[in-house]
Structure 1
């Protein structure tokens, strides 16, 4: 009776933990966006101050923003979300933070020579970096199907290896299971943070493809090392 009660308590605790995680997810995402934007802004401002960039003042962040928009048109022109819903990341950006981009472009922020020197360069750079951060987040959202595809393949491979171990009498490894399970979220969150805070233009494929591969590897090992009898 005590064992049954403990099992119920464990299931209830797991359900509560999952619910708390889901409730905290939007707040966690917003905090990651804000922190990565701050980190990227600090790097950009230091680059302007110490002359790390080839382009003066706000021009470097403006060039980054335009190159990222080009990556949107080329790299994510065809993806699963667009194929199903018809919604493109370019449309999502234009109908959200794109309004802010067009507003500053309309008032001449990107063409005003005053924003290549002095305090104006720092203000313009911060605006561009925040726009760039949110745009990169939209890119990540449209890259989620890549994780699902890799994860599904890894799950199938892991289940096959688990069944083979179960039939062959292979040994279980609780340490490997825990390590693999705890590596899934960091393989995604670390890649996302690096992409959001990256101080220069970068093709998202170079970030999310290795991240999806590492995530899938963790899923495969987690499934394969799951206990043989439940």
Structure 2
């Protein structure tokens, strides 16, 4: 009986050793590394012309408003002739000088005049809101929110197409942008390969910049582009 039990025990031990050896001899199959997804190709519409600029810098500009600068009214902004327009917060006045356009709490639209501000604020004109509802461009035309752009090295009053902007949902009407823009403004500083996008208000800039963080764009000639109105449905 003891001999039979010993034989069974030896057989079990032999089976366990054999199984362990078989397990250790198996090669593990390495996991396949997923290949990186290719960057999505930018689709260019058929109406678009030649590439004008590649990887140009994109920035935004907007009109200043009283609501963005709470605080006491400590300085007076006026015309180039020194005629007072309004008393406003100093930070607000500084921003009007920088941006070139503003909407006051009383509804007045002011724009940079044809004179140097120097160290003061007597360098503005008031605009007819019926003609310049959203501000005036450097070409003397009415600015178009989400359409007007400033550039120093693109043909003035030319239409362009920017594929990186096509598809943006604009803040006011939620219309999708078709990528078509109008070069109707300029920079006050010397710069090139740089486009400034008119977002109307600071809050709209924040909205677009958060949703579509884009620093560089490609610019195409687009004389047949359709300029849309993104302020009215």
Higher helix share: 1
Q: TM-score range by the shorter chain?
A: under 0.3
Which of 1 and 2 has greater Rg?
A: 2
Higher strand share: 2
Report the TM-score when normalising by structure 1. Answer: 0.22
